[in-house]
Structure 1
Amino acid sequence: MTDYSQIIKSPLFQGIPEEECRMLFSKIHYQLRKFEKNELVVQGGEEVRYLLVVLSGSVRGEMIDYSGKTVKIEDIEAPRPLASAFLFGKENKFPVTVTANQKAELLAIPVAEFLKLLQLNTRLLRNYLNSISTRAQFLSQKLHFLSFKTIKEKVAHFLLQQAGEKFHSFDLKNTQQQLAELFGVTRPSLARVLGEMQNDELIKIEKKTVTLLDKKGLNKLLLNG
């Protein structure tokens, strides 16, 4: 059964009343797909033929770098869409391989049917344009992040980005294992770098709180890189 109350929480359908959403979906063909934990959702390089929206659970996007390592790009929680920026264009292929983190249900709307929805509802069209613009900005930041060569540079960039210009401390939401996957390194390697940065009095970590003791020093790591 289609849960329209969950669909309208998605960034793409936000602001559209539930009854209006129900009416829109009555005019198109779509599917609800269920996946088990660690089940493949889509393979990287596969043609994007559907708009996919995570309705429950979460999935992860991963890619293999030139050294053969699997690098996690991000986790996609419900009710976010997948690869919405790749629905149209010449190279409309999934940029990453997507796998279920846990039991998950996804809404699948064929591209042609989604195009009908965009023509029927201007709010949905505006949401979609905002979504792909935000995605383009995220990918730009990710490319910048991947340009750093050493683990220490990546960690410094991440910490500075999390704290922002105005603050010197923040609560870390990720575990060390999650951060290691984000950086494409092993957990011991990440722990060693964090230990070195604390010994150099660049940062201080107390439980989940990270304090940047020397922002200039962290920025210097990036400039020297």
Structure 2
Amino acid sequence: MEQSPTSHLKLLALPLFQGITQQELHQLAAHARFHFQKLNSGITFIKEGEACKDLFFLLQGRVEITTSSANHSFMVKEWLETPSVIQPERLLGLSPWFPSTYTTQENSSILSIDKESILSFIEHSFIFRINFMNILSTRIQKMERQQWRPISDSLREKIIRFFEQHVYNIGGKKIFFIKMITLAKEMNVKRIKVSNVLNELQSEHLLKLERGRIIIPALEKLIQKAQI
């Protein structure tokens, strides 16, 4: 465990701590339990279904996020860059557990702060409280905006929306491990129709098809070019 002043100052670059002075940060840290870890590549530090008892921050490195559907018929991989806070909305509420597995993809620095300390920060720091509420509000607003968009009759747009609805972050590379027949069932159409649309998107260099998986180099570009 690392509790040096230098380590604490790394927090000022994180969204939850932006605007907090060094003096206030040291006051908060004096009564908090911080756990700094340096992890090698390939280490899983959060597993799907684990209770969210701590708030995790990626300070340095790169992390792979793996999320499976409820019936395990398909799976999605995406990646998290620094600096990032990992799913703060899971710390409280009716479902306080992680829906995804997090594994380091290179040597990484991870910070975890226990729930009691986070609640203390929210109570005693106005800036931290506002930052926390802003992050949660932004997440909720994005989800609501997505849910209330009109449903398209275009299978192309429906497939792209399926991709969008099953990731945590819109930006960056995504890999969907899903069979064509499974995606066809999700779309409620015949497999050949899904195959035609996916091959069309591949011809436009918006995704790449491999056996049992769909590689999307940049989901935000796929959404933008499809005018979703």
**TM-score, with length taken from structure 1:** 0.66
1:129 aligns with 133
Identity %: 24
Q: Which of 179, 183, 194 matches 2:201?
A: 194
User: What aligned pairs does 1:25-104 form with structure 2 within 5 A after superposition?
Assistant: 25-65=29-69, 66=71, 68-72=73-77, 74-104=78-108
2:165 aligns with none
Residue 152 of structure 1: how far off its partner (Å): 3.9
Q: 2 CA distance for matches of 1:76 and 1:70?
A: 17
* Residues 83-123 of structure 1: CA deviation (Å, up to 9, x unaligned): 10111123201121111121111111110111111111100
Structure 1: gaps of 5 or more residues: 159-172, 199-207
Report the AA paired with residue 7 of structure 2.
D
Check the 8 A contact 1:152/1:193 in 2, yes or no.
no
User: For residues 138 and 40 of structure 1, do their structure 2 counterparts lie closer, same or farther at Cα, with a shift above 3 Å needed?
Assistant: farther
* Residues 32-83 of structure 1: CA deviation (Å, up to 9, x unaligned): 12322121111111100001111111213221234533212x4222221111
**TM-score, with length taken from structure 2:** 0.65
SS of the equivalent of 2:50 reads: coil
Check the 8 A contact 2:73/2:178 in 1, yes or no.
no
Check the 8 A contact 1:6/1:79 in 2, yes or no.
no
1:113 aligns with 117
Report the AA paired with residue 14 of structure 1.
Q
Residue 10 of structure 1: how far off its partner (Å): 0.7
Structure 2: gaps of 5 or more residues: 163-170, 180-194, 206-217
Q: 2 CA distance for matches of 1:155 and 1:185?
A: 12
Q: 2 CA distance for matches of 1:41 and 1:211?
A: 31
